Chains A and B, each alone.
Chain A
Amino acid sequence: MRSRTPLALAVPAVLGLAFLVLPLAGLLIRTPWSTLPQRLTEPGMLAALRLSLLTATLATLVCLALGVPLAWLLARSGLPGRRLFRALVTVPLVLPPVVGGVALLLVFGRRGLVGEWLDATFGVSLPFSTAGVVVAEAFVAMPFLVIAVEGALRGADARYEEAAATLGAGRWTVFRRVTLPLIGPGVAAGAVLCWARALGEFGATITFAGNFPGRTQTMPLAVYLALEQDLDAAIVLSMVLLVVSVAILAVLRDRWLGAG
């Protein structure tokens, strides 16, 4: 027998649901469906979409390459001060992205701590470039991946790693052939979260990489810009972002995240 839901819970719950769903419904209702095909194929639109997908994917790859080993360090090694490092890793999660962008400028800017050296040694300048977009997105999105992978590592049975060691596997082999396959779903989930966060990144990107069409103007930046000139264009851009996000989430949810 199902118990009756108390009114004190039901009312706010329904309000909460409406609060989350209504804006999306509003977006669907206001979408200019008749001119949609034409607007979707505008060159500026396609350029922004392509740039967004490219930078979000590259940022996710950067996060995977650096974040999975970092998560392993936090979860498995006897590193002293692990709690402090874990706290530091989560700072970008709560930091306003604009502040992140300013901080990135101070370090990777042309006169920044690392930026000056990069410029002098390799002639590389990150700010206001596509690479800068990737850096900004990776900075903001990496904590999502690290936290997800660290959680997966903590949940994984470390005794499988011991079994592998008794069979002659060194630590790297254990990680590659046992740990990584065991935490595969967790890594995938983290990567999806990370990618979605990178795709929506706005504050750090516009601060660190600017807003140059074709080079650093990603979809969220294009939406913001369009909002001031052409509301319908902003709605169409938002629709595309919404569809892409939901589609990726739906596909990966079935394939990687399992049921429930």
Chain B
Amino acid sequence: MSLDARLVVRRPDFTLDVSLAAAPGEVVALLGPNGAGKTTALRALAGLVALDDGHVELDGRRLDRVPPEHRRIGVVFQDYLLFPHLSAVDNVAFGLRCRGVPRARAREQAREWLRRMALEDQSGKRPRQLSGGQAQRVALARALATEPRLLLLDEPLAALDARTRLETRAHLGAHLRDHHGATVLVTHDPLDAMMLADRLVVVEDGRVVQTGDAAAITGRPRTDYVARLVGLNLYRGTADGHTVRVAGDFALTTASAQHGAVFVAFPPSAVALYAERPAGSPRNTWPAEIAAVARQGDRLRIELTGPIPAAADVTPAAAVDLGLATGRRVWATVKATEATSYPAGTDVG
């Protein structure tokens, strides 16, 4: 039950060209900003959007020209799309009925699925009587009941409030681990992707920009989007040993030695701010101006402009001490040991 696909969909103002592979039992997350083409990729896999080029292969069988009803690909849609005129149990039984299972047996199996989702007492309810979390689980049961060879999830948690989201994510994770087929999950939330998926595929503007597991993506982002997602300052530059030239002529000193095109990344918490130029200063010191101040958890996120743009996290106490406000000039420092560099080569995974 392995997936191998290259999805090419051309639109007048947009081209999607994404290669995807997933092993049996593997969960792959398509992560990207809105409008990156994630949902289009999912719809192309399901057969709801025609491919202009490429292929979809599941267990060695070409599916490009197979209509959706014969693909055996289960889909959990973003707003679930539970049939409003059917009860929860009949929604789950729908796919079984379509595959020729007699009504009584389909109902029985559907009840079993609802029991597994801890929803047995909701089986007679219509979708509009269910809470968001319950509807999500019914949608998951409906997709899994047909024993799909590939399971697709489109922003499975996006419609839920923060509290329900936490529970549902754990619940969903457990079911994905039990699913023997491959799973492709579309999300714009890095936390969902990292908690649920074995491997991440980052998509921007219809293209794959980075793939890898959560550690590789969070540790070594390759685009500004990924860096922002994982909360790192990211620069592209040219390394000569421990010195990396970024943004024209600005030099950053890094812990590891590299040569050629590299990325340099460091977390906002590694940036320290001073009112005066610090004496005996660390290697990376530059004058900056505060562009914005925002609350981030129990810290303040300071956006800096200067020779390089950067984000810094400081405690509210330190901010008061320094009198930090928009427009104020400060000195920023980063210890060389906090700045990591890695090759920027063209490989994406």
**When A and B form their complex, what is the total count of cross-chain residue pairs whose Cβ atoms lie within 8 Å?**
60
A170 to chain B, nearest CB (A): 6
Contact with A along B179-211 (1 / 0, CB 8 A): 000000000000000000000000000000000
Q: Which of A162, A164, A184 contacts B94 (CB 8 A)?
A: A164
- Please tell me if A6 contacts chain B, counting CB pairs below 8 Å: no
A163, A169, A170: most-surrounded residue (chain B CB, <10 A): A163
Distance of A163 Cα from B75 Cα, bound (Å): 7
Which residues of B in the span 55-75 have a Cβ within 8 Å of any Cβ on A? 67-75
Tell me if A178 counts as interface (CB < 8 A to partner B).
yes
A residues within 8 A CB of B75?
A: 163, 166
Given A173-B98, A177-B94, residue A165 in contact with residue B83 (CB < 8 A):
no
Residue B322 at the A interface, CB < 8 A?
no
B95 at the interface (CB under 8 A from A): yes
Minimum CB–CB distance for A234 against chain B, Å: 46
Inside 8 A of A177's CB, which chain B residues have their CB?
94
Question: Could you give, for residues 75-98 of chain B, a 1 whenever the CB lies within 8 Å of some chain A CB and a 0 otherwise?
Answer: 101000101110000000011001
Within 8 Å CB of B84, what residues of A? Answer: 182
Of A160, A168, A184, the residue contacting B69 (CB under 8 A) is A168
Mask of A244-257 contacts with B, CB within 8 angstroms, 1/0: 00000000000000
Total residues of chain B contacting the partner, CB 8 A: 24
Pick the residue among A165, A168, A181 that contacts B99 (CB under 8 A): A168
A166 with B94: in contact, given A159-B77, A159-B81, A160-B83 (CB under 8 Å)?
A: no
Q: Chain B contacts of A259 at CB under 8 A?
A: none
Q: CB distance A165 to B81 under 8 Å?
A: no
In the bound complex, residues from chain A placing their C-beta under 8 Å from that of B74 are 166-167
CB-based contact A167/B95 at 8 Å: yes
Q: Is the CB of A170 within 8 A of B81?
A: no
Known: A159-B77, A173-B98, A177-B94. A166 touches B83 (CB 8 A): no
Among the listed B47, B48, B142, which residue makes an inter-chain contact with A167, where contact means beta carbons less than 8 Å apart?
B142
Q: Is the CB of A168 within 8 A of B83?
A: no
- Do B83 and A178 touch across chains, with their CB atoms under 8 A apart? yes
A173 closest partner in B (C-beta) = B98
Contact partner of A169 (CB less than 8 A), chosen from B71, B85, B94, B143, is B94
CB contacts (< 8 Å) of B46 on chain A: these are 162, 166
B69-A170 in contact (CB<8A):
yes
Chain A nearest CB: distance from B31 CB in Å?
22
Q: B85 to A167, Cβ gap below 8 A?
A: no
| Beta-carbon contact of A165 and B94 below 8 Å | no
Return the CB mask of B195-231 against A: 1 if under 8 Å, else 0: 0000000000000000000000000000000000000
B85 and A165 contact, CB distance less than 8 A: no
- A170 to B68: give the CA distance in the assembly, Å: 9
Most chain B beta carbons < 10 A, residue from A165, A168, A169, A184: A168
- Chain B residues 86 to 122 lying within 8 A of chain A, measured CB to CB, are 94-95, 98-99
Q: Is B243 an interface residue (CB 8 A)?
A: no
Please name all residues of chain B whose beta carbon is closer than 8 Å to the beta carbon of A166 when the two chains form the complex.
46-48, 68-69, 71, 73-75, 143
CA distance A252 to B48 in the complex (A): 37
Interface hub of B47, B73, B85, B146 (most chain A Cβ within 10 A): B85
- State whether A169 touches B77 (Cβ < 8 A): no
* A177 to B142 CA separation, bound complex (whole angstroms): 16
Which residues of A lie under 8 Å from residue B47 when comparing CB positions? Answer: 165-166
- The CA-CA distance from A163 to B139 in the complex, in Å, is 10
Least CB distance, B11 to chain A, in whole angstroms: 18
Q: CB-CB < 8 A to A182: which residues of B?
A: 84-85
Selected contact of B67 from candidates A164, A165, A173, A181, CB within 8 Å: A165
How many whole Å from B68's CB to the nearest CB in chain A? 4
A176: min CB distance to chain B, Å: 11
Q: Contact at B81–A163, with CB atoms within 8 Å?
A: yes
Residue of B nearest to A178 (CB): B83
A165 to B142, CA, bound (A): 13
- Tell me, rounded to whole Å, the shortest Cβ–Cβ distance linking B87 to chain A: 13
Question: What's the minimum C-beta distance from B110 to chain A, rounded to whole angstroms?
Answer: 12
A157 vs B83: C-alpha distance when bound (angstroms) = 11
Chain A nearest CB from B140 CB (Å) reads 13
- Considering the chains assembled together, what is the distance between the CA atoms of A200 and B348 in angstroms? 72
Interface string of A167-196 (1 = CB under 8 A from B): 111100100011001101000000000000
Residues in chain B near residue A159, CB distance under 8 A: 77, 81
Within 8 A of A (CB), among B227-281: none
**Are the C-beta atoms of A162 and B98 separated by less than 8 Å?**
no
Smallest Cβ distance from A146 to chain B, in angstroms? Answer: 23
Instruction: Convert B25-53 into 0s and 1s, putting 1 for each residue whose CB lies closer than 8 angstroms to a CB of A.
Output: 00000000000000000000011100000
Closest to A182 in B: B85
- Can you spell out 24 A-B residue pairs with CB atoms less than 8 angstroms apart? A159-B77, A162-B46, A162-B68, A164-B94, A165-B47, A165-B48, A165-B67, A165-B69, A166-B46, A166-B71, A166-B75, A166-B143, A167-B69, A167-B74, A167-B94, A167-B143, A168-B69, A168-B99, A169-B94, A169-B95, A169-B98, A177-B94, A181-B83, A181-B85
Known contacts A157-B81, A163-B77, A182-B84; 20 additional CB pairs below 8 A are A159-B81, A160-B81, A163-B81, A163-B83, A164-B94, A164-B98, A165-B48, A165-B67, A166-B68, A166-B71, A167-B142, A167-B143, A167-B146, A168-B70, A168-B95, A169-B69, A170-B69, A170-B98, A177-B94, A184-B85
Residues of chain A whose beta carbon lies under 8 Å from any beta carbon of chain B: 157, 159-160, 162-170, 173, 177-178, 181-182, 184
